[in-house]
Structure 1
């Protein structure tokens, strides 16, 4: 009897507890989901999204008053994907980006950021859009670092708050006596420059950053990998599930349609292509030979609406800034003009620097205007290739692209078809016949490497926190 009475009291209480738990769980579910929608609602209502990033040659910088950078271009494309404007918030300190995110200074962080367990405690990360590996950076003549243990006793300079600091601290815990020198406001690019100049002995950098900087400072060496491949991701505030899902869908889309590869290649194409002797010679001749012709280059580039740095890069590829250069094909001067091209452009003295440069740039402009169905870099690359191999062979390559159902106005299509014109199967039906089709591809790549170096020498870094 007493047991039945106890059950009669307990059952209603249990039912009430179950109902309360059910209501609490539902409220929690609604809260979690609504908080995950807050940032996206704010973005769409405002018509803009703010990215927190860093001011360097990999994330965001100004070149001739134009915003550029690998991360910036991805972020801009993401804003377009959402149908909103992009605002940029520059974080001066590397380790202040995630705190700034949590404080509401932006909707996401896009900054070549490695996903680490420590960072995952502070923010939610997207799927990987790229991976990288950390390397020890030293001067070429420093051959004493072959394994991690060789770092013992070394002072290694890295930026505070980076994954490089985390990795070095892990090596210290493993028993390697490393001295870590942390820097608040010196970017990794500048630390690499200090290694090149002998100011410091060792720093750490991601592989893509190190290889790109090796163009600018050929005297550096990637001595040793000290990490496995690590994912890079964008960060959002914890719980912002809708925004995170949008980012992941965006990455899936640009991986599938090739846009991610296109932007990557714009900034990092051929970073493995490294000739120490050639690049050292180039850097020297930029100082010793280029100044003599810079006025003529700038005048002609301005007249025909090209960046003078591009023309200087092309000129170096053509003649190494040698006004008396004559090729095996009897091309002459700084811009390596053929006699027939020079005559058609009214050149009186083919070896006179000013005449040669002006005619060369005018010839490039004519080709650029001719291939006007292509856009942007595709058009530029096609014009440069035509300068090297001839307009006729480029027409053959374009016709072959059409037959292969490729877009003839895309440089990537012509990179496929130009080399095929070496083979009789293809050139027997080509109007202009056999073509050494690999040469214009190499020609364009080399010019863009030289051009990149010249652009890097005149970057404008804007370190103010102003929104752009």
Structure 2
């Protein structure tokens, strides 16, 4: 027997089918279907309730396959239907965009932690833990790391990304890995940022005049010694160097906070980040926490705030979306297990700061 903590995340159980499957719109449409689920899950109980209501479906139990694997099999057309909690389904949709949520089969429920029914002190401490991290913003920080923006990508976006990982990314793999290794970054982070910037298009140009794979402005490129801004090697090396300089500049922030603040500065400029940090101080928020700047950056779109800011108006929601998308692209790269046989080693005369191995901070 167990007791459950207070709920911390709302979920629903959903029917998962291939995106081309238009035959299931509601639970009643499961009649005549074989539904594959992992044995011992709450999905089995829910499906049996549907059977008791007269829906003639067949349940195929798997004792050795996790829900994520069954979602993959749906995406690949190996099975027709599975069931998954909404958070699991949405998270896996970035890896398997062909698998979609067809319809809910349960009311909204809440995830909680299960403990021994006699462990009352432990249960109390768990509830206090969740209360604390929700109040101090840590819960949102963790939630955003894994779930932010997961439903903002449509099928075309995700399919294009998966395709370009195979067709475009290999053209720049050695350059990315050498530059990332020299500056201490995870190469997959740089690749994810590059895709957000240019979709791996070396000739990309923004409306503001930023150019190339890493979308460098002419002043930034010149300051970094770039002779040909559209040259992939020069553009990538300069882009990573620029990110590293921002990472160094915001050294008071720690861990992922430092990385996210550097990425945000890359996106909207160092000055706007400084303005957002000043607002954070005025609001008694920690200016070196990304969760604080996620609150204050959007304020710079309002005249009340940007009229007093040193660097003026800022599209403050843009860097938040920028980072969320980069982290999703990064996560997909990790999940796909894309590894390159060639790993360029840094020049022995150059020092690599081992303290900023972003892979260790992000995993």
TM-score (norm: length of structure 2): 0.88
The answer to whether the aligner puts 1:281 opposite 2:125 as a matched pair is no
- Tell me the distance in 1 between the aligned counterparts of 2:205 and 2:10: 45
The answer to whether the aligner puts 1:314 opposite 2:187 as a matched pair is no
Point out the structure with max Rg over C-alpha: 1
Look up the match of 2:140.
261
Contact 2:4 2:114 in 1 (8 A): yes
- Tell me the distance in 2 between the aligned counterparts of 1:334 and 1:137: 36
Please report how far the alpha carbon of residue 257 of structure 1 lies from its aligned counterpart in structure 2 after TM superposition.
3.2
SS in 1 for 2:204: coil
Look up the match of 1:28.
none
SS in 2 for 1:176: coil
Residues 235-293 of structure 1: CA deviation (Å, up to 9, x unaligned): 33343333333333333333333333322222222222222221111111011100111
Look up the match of 2:211.
332
Q: Determine which of 217, 222, 244 is the counterpart of 2:123.
A: 244
- Tell me the distance in 2 between the aligned counterparts of 1:258 and 1:439: 20
Q: 1:238 to 1:438 in 2, by over 3 A?
A: closer
- Tell me the distance in 2 between the aligned counterparts of 1:168 and 1:209: 18
- Tell me the distance in 2 between the aligned counterparts of 1:422 and 1:372: 26
- Tell me the distance in 1 between the aligned counterparts of 2:114 and 2:312: 53
Please report how far the alpha carbon of residue 166 of structure 1 lies from its aligned counterpart in structure 2 after TM superposition.
1.1
- Tell me the distance in 1 between the aligned counterparts of 2:12 and 2:6: 17
Unaligned runs of 5+ in 1: 1-121, 460-468
- Tell me the distance in 1 between the aligned counterparts of 2:56 and 2:120: 42
What RMSD in Å do the two structures reach over aligned CA positions?
1.9
Please report how far the alpha carbon of residue 438 of structure 1 lies from its aligned counterpart in structure 2 after TM superposition.
2.4
Q: Determine which of 51, 72, 83 is the counterpart of 1:172.
A: 51
Residues 188-227 of structure 1: CA deviation (Å, up to 9, x unaligned): 1111011111111100000000011111111221100000
Q: 1:326 to 1:251 in 2, by over 3 A?
A: closer
Residues 125-151 of structure 1: CA deviation (Å, up to 9, x unaligned): 333333311000011111111121110
Q: Determine which of 271, 274, 286 is the counterpart of 1:392.
A: 271
Look up the match of 2:350.
none
Look up the match of 2:231.
352
Contact 2:141 2:291 in 1 (8 A): no
Contact 2:68 2:92 in 1 (8 A): yes
The worse-fitting range, judged by mean Cα deviation, of 440-449 and 250-259 is: 250-259
SS in 1 for 2:79: coil
Q: 1:208 to 1:282 in 2, by over 3 A?
A: same
Contact 1:385 1:443 in 2 (8 A): yes
Please report how far the alpha carbon of residue 296 of structure 1 lies from its aligned counterpart in structure 2 after TM superposition.
0.8
Please report how far the alpha carbon of residue 422 of structure 1 lies from its aligned counterpart in structure 2 after TM superposition.
2.6
Q: 1:246 to 1:386 in 2, by over 3 A?
A: closer
Q: 1:382 to 1:201 in 2, by over 3 A?
A: same
Residues 20-57 of structure 1: CA deviation (Å, up to 9, x unaligned): xxxxxxxxxxxxxxxxxxxxxxxxxxxxxxxxxxxxxx
The answer to whether the aligner puts 1:429 opposite 2:308 as a matched pair is yes
Contact 1:208 1:271 in 2 (8 A): no
- Tell me the distance in 2 between the aligned counterparts of 1:251 and 1:440: 28
For residues 87-236 of structure 1, the aligned pairs below 5 Å read 122-236=1-115
SS in 2 for 1:135: strand
Q: Determine which of 402, 405, 408 is the counterpart of 2:281.
A: 402
Look up the match of 1:34.
none
The answer to whether the aligner puts 1:341 opposite 2:216 as a matched pair is no
Unaligned runs of 5+ in 2: 339-363
Residues 378-401 of structure 1: CA deviation (Å, up to 9, x unaligned): 211111111111111211221222
TM-score (norm: length of structure 1): 0.69
- Tell me the distance in 2 between the aligned counterparts of 1:322 and 1:167: 47
Q: 1:264 to 1:441 in 2, by over 3 A?
A: closer
Look up the match of 1:366.
245
Look up the match of 1:24.
none
Please report how far the alpha carbon of residue 427 of structure 1 lies from its aligned counterpart in structure 2 after TM superposition.
2.1
The answer to whether the aligner puts 1:417 opposite 2:321 as a matched pair is no
Residues 420-443 of structure 1: CA deviation (Å, up to 9, x unaligned): 223333222222222222222221
SS in 2 for 1:216: coil
Aligned residue-pair number: 339
